Amino acid sequence: MSYRNVSAAIALSVLCWLNMSTASASEIILGIKAGGVDFDADGIDPTTIVSGQLGYEFLDLIAADIATELEITRSISDGESDSGDYSYASQALYLSARSIGPIYVIGRAGVIAAEVDYNSGGSVDDTGVAYGVGVGFSTGIRFELELTRYEFEETDTTTLTLGVHF
């Protein structure tokens, strides 16, 4: 991925964070979620992940909330692949839009750095633009069940997570 795309994503995030003082209704988001990730790639089985989130909801629109999100994800169990067992880690910075209501749609776009380490030696890592769309259910106390589909470079991933936001 070019440095121009990374620079644009960082600049967008800085602008969003600078907007904090003028937001009509702002909220800091802290969260943790766990679930599974499935890579749409031959020879790679799903694995279990845990993610931590730090975000800032800086704009409440009539039908959606807009936020920036930093998400750090790690696998908590080894996945299996044709190349041997693996672990997964990623760090992502997203701009997100989440519809209001107990059943919601969420869209995210941003930059992600992901790495797959094989227990047999070697690793694959990449940094690039990622975007995704998900649907979720929130109980109102920010317990959320979310199914999200991301596209990153040439690999699509699907995550199903259960989380809580504070």
Q: Residue 20: its pLDDT value, please?
A: 44
Query: What's at 76, amino acid-wise?
Result: I
> Regarding predicted confidence, which is higher, 49 or 144?
49
Give per-residue pLDDT as tens, 103-132: 889 999 999 998 989 998 888 888 888 888
Percentage of the chain exceeding pLDDT 70: 83
Query: What's at 85, amino acid-wise?
Result: D
Residue 83 CB contacts under 8 Å (≥ 6 apart), including other chains:
43, 118, 120, 122
CA–CA gap between residue 157 and residue 63 (Å, rounded): 27
Q: Residue 21: its pLDDT value, please?
A: 42
Residue 56 scores a pLDDT above 50: yes
pTM: 0.78
CA–CA gap between residue 29 and residue 21 (Å, rounded): 16
Residue 45 scores a pLDDT above 80: yes
Domains of the chain and CATH, by start: 3-165 (2.40.160.20)
Query: HSE on the CB side for 137, CA within 13 Å?
Result: 4
Compute the average pLDDT of residues 80-96.
93
Q: Residue 122: its pLDDT value, please?
A: 86
